[in-house]
Amino acid sequence: MSNVVSLGLPRRPTLAQRQALLIGNFARNRRQPDDVFWLKENAEALNVLASSGAMLSDNAFEPYRRIYDGLEERLHFFPQYYRFLLSICLDLEDLGIGQSKGTALCNWVAKNGLVEAELSDLQRAEAQRLLGRRGAAAEDPHLQTRLHKFIDRSETFALPNKKAAYELTHIIFYLSDYGVKDPGLNEAAIVSLEFAGLLAYLDQDVDLLAETCVAMRFAGKSPSAIWEDWIAGQMRGFTLSDRVTGTSDAYHEYLVTSWWALFADRPSFPGVPSQSGLHILRHTTRRSPLRAMSECMFHLGPARSSDWSEMRQAMSDAIGVDGEDILSEAEQSSDRFDAFFEGFSRADV
């Protein structure tokens, strides 16, 4: 006779089950497939799963079956979205849906010269990485040289410029094939990443900081424990709702921080998505001191100095108590804070 009593307590869904619920929502509930933002969101969600080695059942990807089967027609009619469509196709195949369509689509893109329509080296790098996944593109040494030249210019990333910082992280994603190979970074590029991370931390930008930490890991470097502990803490601020609204939400922050957590061996994909809808909210508690720091430096005019020890008190006075905590943490997070501030100060301009 058994004396084990089942209390009938609900079990928390596994990581794979939560991921399946998540992509089911991205595929069916948030937007319609004819919406370019559907392409963007689903390409990002599938990329997070594929690049982190997610192990999901084939049934998890059934919501994409009709999309996968019709990818040729979509690509031929919407060639301007070829990067989204190729990304979705290749990731679905790598995750278990289909196996040969990606090669044909990559060859079609290459044959029709769609990459030649790109003016941005970043987009060319993404396209080269996509086509290279199915052997449809050779490495462009001139493009590689330009990409490295951009990421090696560390002073770019000591100034608030989110576009440049995101380009830095994505270039490293592409150069490393999302962590598969050594991106071949110079020390200057590592400094660029550290400067970008300091700015993201001062700005309390969890999305950019998570991307920066992933890029550092892909480059074989260990991110600051202060940065990563803060990201982990911020992940507790996500709330998942089944009430889908037309307003933007924090889906990208949720995806990127969970992606980071998988590489950092931290709990990922917090919360349990509903089957019927997904709107992601994020609660924040601290106000960024970055704007106050920049305004203070600007108004100091000729009195500003690139020497952090001379400017520390002025910064403290400008940002208040809450900002002081963040600034102190940023200082402790990097041995290069003084060098970062030298560029941030613009005292020698």
Burial of 38 (0-12, 13-18, 19+ CB in 10 A): middle
Alpha-helical regions (H) of 96-205:
101-111, 121-132, 141-152, 162-175, 187-202
Number of separate domains in the chain: 1
- Domain of 43, in residue numbers: 13-138
**Residue 49 located in a structural domain:** yes
**Residue 304 located in a structural domain:** no
Q: Tell me the pTM.
A: 0.94
**Residue 73 located in a structural domain:** yes
**Residue 156 located in a structural domain:** no
Q: What is the pLDDT of residue 306?
A: 96
**Residue 59 located in a structural domain:** yes
Burial of 33 (0-12, 13-18, 19+ CB in 10 A): middle
Identify the weakest region by mean pLDDT among 76-85, 98-107, 153-162, 338-347. Answer: 98-107
Q: What is the pLDDT of residue 9?
A: 42
pLDDT, tens digit (0-9, with 9 covering 90-100), for 4-52 = 444 444 567 899 999 999 999 999 999 999 999 999 999 999 999 999 9
d(CA 112, CA 186): 35
DSSP 241: E
Alpha-helical regions (H) of 177-247:
187-202, 206-218, 225-234
**Residue 346 located in a structural domain:** no
**Residue 208 located in a structural domain:** no
**Residue 81 located in a structural domain:** yes
The pairing of beta strand 238-241 with beta strand 279-282 = antiparallel
Q: Which residues contact 73 (CB under 8 A, 6 or more apart)?
A: none
pLDDT, tens digit (0-9, with 9 covering 90-100), for 206-217 = 999 999 999 999
DSSP assignment of 55-81, as one string? ---GGGGGGGHHHHHTHHHHHHH-GGG
